[in-house]
């Protein structure tokens, strides 16, 4: 299973005067890992589909705000 949360380590020059973040996090959408909609994909109930914003659990991408 692929994770939607990715980690990136940017290059930090030894001559860079500004302090940099050593680790950057970013999120990738689940559509990147599903090239086409396979038949028989599980579906949320109508109530849950409205709550999660998608009919298919495989395309659900939770939003977690960063502090």
pLDDT in tens, 22-42: 788 888 888 888 888 788 899
| 9 contacts 26 by C-beta, under 8 angstroms | no
**Secondary structure letter of residue 36 according to DSSP:** S
**Overall pTM > 0.85:** no
Average per-residue pLDDT for the chain: 83
Rounded to 10 degrees, the C-alpha dihedral 45/28/32/2 comes to -80
Give the start-to-end residue ranges of the domains of the chain. 5-59
The pLDDT score that the predictor gives to residue 50 is 95
């Amino acid at each position: 299973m692929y994770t939607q949360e990715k980690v990136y380590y940017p290059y930090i020059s030894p001559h860079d005067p500004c302090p940099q973040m050593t680790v950057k996090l970013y999120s990738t959408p689940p559509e990147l890992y599903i090239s086409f909609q396979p038949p028989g994909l599980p579906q949320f109930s109508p109530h849950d589909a409205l709550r999660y914003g998608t009919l298919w659990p495989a395309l659900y991408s939770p939003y977690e705000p960063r502090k």
